[in-house]
Amino acid sequence: MQNRNPFCWVKKQMARSIYVSVSIMIYVLSQVSISNAYPIFAQKGYENPRETTGRIVCANCHLANKPVEIEVPQAVLPDTVFEAIVRIPYDMQLKQVLSNGKKGGLNVGAVLILPEGFELAPTDRISPELKEKIGNFVFSELSSQ
């Protein structure tokens, strides 16, 4: 006489449901989503780029720490447009994953905190030579206040 397990079909159904669940979980976890995190959110969230501890607010998201070289004039007369040169030496061969999932160049930037009373020059006051030097670099105020 044959010995039949009455719960055999239950075991098969459980095995199938576990297999389907694991397959769905692997599918969901392997999908690449487009990133929606941009520095503009940090710019709108802080009126002062320096926290009370002295730390710059960009360090809340950006963990890299690189040495920076800066060239600024020793003295500036009022109502004068001057040039500040910021250099961040890094390996140009390094790549990062972009928001579309492809590899691209690193996003490298700096925060330049100007003393009280200083502001970015309006575009009509910037000389053509300086505009050519600037190229496609983007400058913006951290906060409108």
Residues in the annotated binding site for heme: 38, 58, 61-62
Output the known binding site: 38, 58, 61-62
- Cα–Cα–Cα angle for 20, 24, 27, nearest 5°? 140
**Contact in structure between 94 and 86 (CB atoms under 8 Å):** no
Contacts of 4 (CB under 8 A, 6+ apart): none
Helix locations, the chain, DSSP H: 8-30, 40-45, 128-134
| Rounded-to-integer distance, Cα 79 and Cα 4, Å | 95
